Amino acid sequence: MLRPHAHDAADRLDEAMESSAEGLRTLWVSLVVLGLTAAVQGVVVWWSGSVALLGDTVHNLTDALTAVPLGLAFLLGRRAASRSYTYGFGRAEDLAGVAVVGAVAVSAVLAGVTAVDRLLHPQPVGHLWAVAGAALVGCAGNEWVARFRMATGRRIGSAALVADGLHARSDGLTSLAVLLGAAGAAVGLPIVDPLVGLLITAAILLVLRSSVREIGRRLMDGVDPALVDAAERGLREVEGVRGVGALRMRWIGHTLRAEAEVVVDGALSVAAGHRVAEAAEQALRRAVPRLLGATVHVDTADPPGAAADAST
């Protein structure tokens, strides 16, 4: 009886664009901080000859460079939808998340290989105080970047940016391994370095598992069930809605799209049904954060007495 009803309000589109811009700013600031961190560590590597610190420097440099695919994804996601990509290009962000997960996996392999190599072939390290200081710089830089990225990612709904923040945190843990290894060498226990390195590898694998699960859920159109519950509650509170049917939501980059079916009185006019659909859409936007657009389909219920009239 009534056509599906949809709106893509300009203010929501502006909000999504602002989120992309915020994500880009976060990435570039992170790139500068981690680049400076890697530069400081590189100087100490050249001075001390520390293999463990060299590996940590490579990790930090790799982490800094993950800003490149994410930055490109944010830029691509700001392009307008086309005839071929009718939902826009927001999914590029999720594909960049796959690249970030790959970088975390490479970091885990490098950390594990370095730890095993140091365990089998111990090497003396000079200037332990400088190595320890560089390790602290690496840990502090990575942890700051991790918190910055994850805070922005959660605020704008970017799983890829959160995963990249977790990657930075894993590299910060690797820096702690260098610090503890230097402390062990200072007290005559060089074996501490590779043993702690193996423990840190296990920690990185836990981070990898979390990142794979989150990115995988996004690629499979998974959402938090609490968002669905909130959307249903919002729809049921709309005046004129007698029931809620199928409700679907999906992430496209760091914004949500929704499709909902609501049941209204069959005696309503087309115009009245249209107003209920508009109210239902607004209720969805109030109930669900970062919802860019919603399509509301209106089904009708038989008006009271319709069944009796039909039987006569």
The closest of 241, 250, 255, 247 to 300, measured between CA atoms, is 241
CA pair distance 11, 74, nearest whole angstrom: 19
Q: What dotted CATH number matches 225-311?
A: 3.30.70.1350
Residue 135 and residue 53 in contact, taking contact as beta carbons nearer than 8 Å: yes
Q: Average pLDDT across each block of 10 residues of the chain; the chain has 312 residues. List them in order.
A: 36 44 81 87 78 71 72 78 85 81 80 79 74 86 89 79 79 76 76 73 77 83 90 93 92 85 90 91 89 88 50 34
Which tokens go with 198? 């193996």
CA pair distance 142, 167, nearest whole angstrom: 9
Output the CA torsion 173→178→182→185 (10° steps): 110
Residues 6+ apart with CB under 8 A from 138: 37, 41, 56, 57, 60, 171, 172, 174, 175, 178
Q: Which alpha helices (DSSP H) does the chain contain, by range?
A: 10-48, 51-65, 67-77, 92-120, 128-156, 159-186, 192-219, 225-236, 270-287, 306-311
pLDDT value, residue 51: 65
pLDDT value, residue 208: 79
The DSSP code sequence of 11-53 is HHHHHHHHHHHHHHHHHHHHHHHHHHHHHHHHHHHHHH--HHH
CATH architecture, range 5-219: Up-down Bundle (1.20)
Spell out the domain ranges in the chain.
5-219, 225-311
pLDDT value, residue 1: 31
Report the SS3 class of residue 85: coil
Report the SS3 class of residue 240: coil
**Backbone phi and psi for residue 311, each to the nearest 5 degrees, phi listed first:** -70, -25
pLDDT value, residue 284: 93
CA pair distance 208, 60, nearest whole angstrom: 16
Decide if 5-219 and 225-311 have a common fold: no
The DSSP code sequence of 117-157 is HHHHS----S-HHHHHHHHHHHHHHHHHHHHHHHHHHHHHT
